[in-house]
Amino acid sequence: MRALTWQGTEKVSVETVPDPTIQEPTDAVVRITSTAICGSDLHLYRVLGPYIDKGDVLGHEPMGIVEAVGSAVTNLKVGDRVVVPFNISCGHCYMCQRGLQSQCETTQVTEYGSGAALFGYTKMYGQVPGGQAEYLRVPHADYGPIVIPDDGTPDDRWLFLSDILPTAWQAVQYADVPEGGTLAVLGLGPVGQFAARIGKHLGYRVLAVDPEAVRRDLGAKYDVETFNLSDDVVAQLVDRTDGRGPDAVVDAVGMEAHGNPLAGFAQSAAGLLPDKLAQKAIETAGVDRLAAVHAAIDMVRRGGTVSLSGVYGGMADPMPMMTLFDKQITVREGQCNVRRWIDDIMPLVSDPSDPLGTLDLTSHRVSLEDAPHMYEVFQKKQDDCVKVVLDPAMAAAAA
């Protein structure tokens, strides 16, 4: 089959690799019909290379048609249309039973002290071949895949259940906004877009910050009050909230945030070291750009909540503990527990009126073969790129 593989820092290519097969009774094999590029894939593209081997298959936002199932899989049948959550969880362990599927004790990567295994996401998370491919082996298919209607609705209606929609939902739930309160969202990339829309759906006032006009315009379609990234943006949002600040802030940016050139240098330098040294640097040093999380802490009102959905990777990042303590700020974060939120989200995704705008997020739908070019476009925010979906059945664009 054809699959998108990691070849080096800022270098990916589509290669022919072995077809996946049933290896365990709880496996399934899915033929991929749509698979997205996630903002966190860009961390692999540039920063987390020390944890990837050349030829690893990337991607963790897939959906498709079940082609084969193992003998222990009774909840799926060949021909089912499914979305595959990005975290691989068993559904029956202590953590899964408590809605913490991202901490699944069956698939935890104990070698690295990490949580549940993820598709297409480094040795730290199991080095499981990912879904930017024609086919995908799905472990624990007796629990993970979400069966969706095979009714001719576009894949984009359902695809984002794999990651970014439940990630945004969890971020807003963790933000704990009071009824009728104000939510600020930092970053209007795909997760930020959904977080802002979810906030509006739940009846909150939503303020959002992004440096890209196309993303601000997309947010404004959903009555989100948008702000350009500027030196005084914290003061602007505080001023718009009676001088107190928003009740809660979702940081949907993470370690790709603008600012802090020293951290940017550290990220680049770590990626150039031999793998073992680079891993040590990432695991013991502060390599994140913290502009977004510091802005969130500065702008949230006293007694408010900061919810982190953006990915951070440094182990020694400086945090303003005095401010956190003095302002009595609650901070919540963590990998999304996809399965926990599906029952809450499914009625909205199934609604023909599309209240969360699942059908207007994708800016680029291209073939799998065009993936290397689109990684670069997405990273550099070129061509008004918001969200890229890869279609393995689509012909590649002419060179």
The two most distant CA atoms of the chain are separated, in Å, by: 61
**Using one digit for the tens of pLDDT, what is the confidence trace for 121-159?**
989 899 999 999 999 999 999 999 999 999 999 999 999
50 vs 139 pLDDT, higher one: 139
Q: Is the pLDDT of residue 259 over 70?
A: no
- Percent of the chain past pLDDT 70, that is, above it, reads 88
Q: Is the pLDDT of residue 260 over 60?
A: no
State pTM to two decimals.
Answer: 0.91
- The predicted model gives 103-122 an average pLDDT of 95
Q: Is the pLDDT of residue 273 over 70?
A: no
Residues 6+ apart with CB under 8 A from 293: 251, 257, 306, 308, 310, 312, 319
**Using one digit for the tens of pLDDT, what is the confidence trace for 82-102?**
999 999 999 999 999 999 999
- The predicted model gives 343-361 an average pLDDT of 96
**Using one digit for the tens of pLDDT, what is the confidence trace for 204-246?**
999 999 999 999 999 999 999 999 999 999 999 999 999 999 9
Tokens of residue 262, six digits? 């020293």
Q: Is the pLDDT of residue 268 over 80?
A: no
Residue 288 pLDDT:
54
**Among 133-147, 236-250, 309-323, 355-369, where is mean pLDDT lowest?**
309-323
pLDDT band at residue 203 under the 50/70/90 scheme: very high
Residues 6+ apart with CB under 8 A from 266: 281, 285, 286, 287
Q: Is the pLDDT of residue 13 over 50?
A: yes
